Amino acid sequence: AQSVTQLDSQVPVFEEAPVELRCNYSSSVSVYLFWYVQYPNQGLQLLLKYLSGSTLVKGINGFEAEFNKSQTSFHLRKPSVHISDTAEYFCAVSGNEKLTFGTGTRLTIIP
Amino acid sequence: KAGVTQTPRYLIKTRGQQVTLSCSPISGHRSVSWYQQTPGQGLQFLFEYFSETQRNKGNFPGRFSGRQFSNSRSEMNVSTLELGDSALYLCASRSLGTNSYNEQFFGPGTRLTVL
């Protein structure tokens, strides 16, 4: 069985400040890891994914994440946030079957 | 390529009714998955169809069913609606290769409200 824990349900950040959204996972098999973003009244958009190889993964909109196998973490980071980053962010894990999602982190950017 | 499309975008039903939601995948994608998103339970996997066969199923009651047509379009049906079925229903499509992960692309969702 797989599971994902997103430790923060809400994260407020000042504009142009850095942000880290935390994600921990558990799985008995090798996994693929993802971060999705959901803007209001929209579906999910893939930000980035870790399948194999380099543990530092770069995605769209300036986001990056680091896969840490020993800590079973896949935290999402951005060095400088913008108002347009206001959205809900979901971490997900898959063994190439269904996606198992975390409960989401609502990122609010303060002007 | 056009993205995943879902119809209708919004639906209002009353308890006890049934509802059918539709999903058209990205051209060439033969796998379609359905997810339910609610504030209380988050995003939960319903089922996946590939080549008109259910390939994987989540932990939902039998009131939730789906099917896939030969053109890969998929429908999901919920019978005897309950208030708790109010949710955003998301559809995702992907191609299925043999040696690598195949990314799922999500549609905008259908917002179902049960009164």
Tell me: cis bond preceding B8? Omega within 30 of 0 counts.
Answer: yes
Query: Are A43 and B4 an interchain contact pair (Cβ–Cβ within 8 Å)?
Result: yes
Name which of A51, A90, A97 is nearest B56 (Cβ-Cβ): A97
**Residues pairing with B13 in the sheet:** B114
What residue in A sits closest to B47 (Cα-Cα)? A98
Touching A: B residues 56-95, CB under 8 Å: 56, 58, 90, 92
C-alpha angle A2-B77-B85 in degrees, rounded to nearest 5: 65
pLDDT, tens digit (0-9, with 9 covering 90-100), for A35-88: 999 998 889 999 999 988 888 999 999 999 999 999 999 999 999 999 999 999
Tens of pLDDT along chain B (115 residues) come to: 689 999 999 999 999 999 999 999 999 999 999 999 999 889 999 999 999 999 989 999 999 999 999 999 999 999 999 999 999 999 999 987 655 677 889 999 999 999 9
What residue in A sits closest to B43 (Cα-Cα)? A101
What residue in B sits closest to A101 (Cα-Cα)? B43
What is the C-alpha separation between A59 and A49, in angstroms, rounded? 8
Query: Are A94 and B56 an interchain contact pair (Cβ–Cβ within 8 Å)?
Result: no
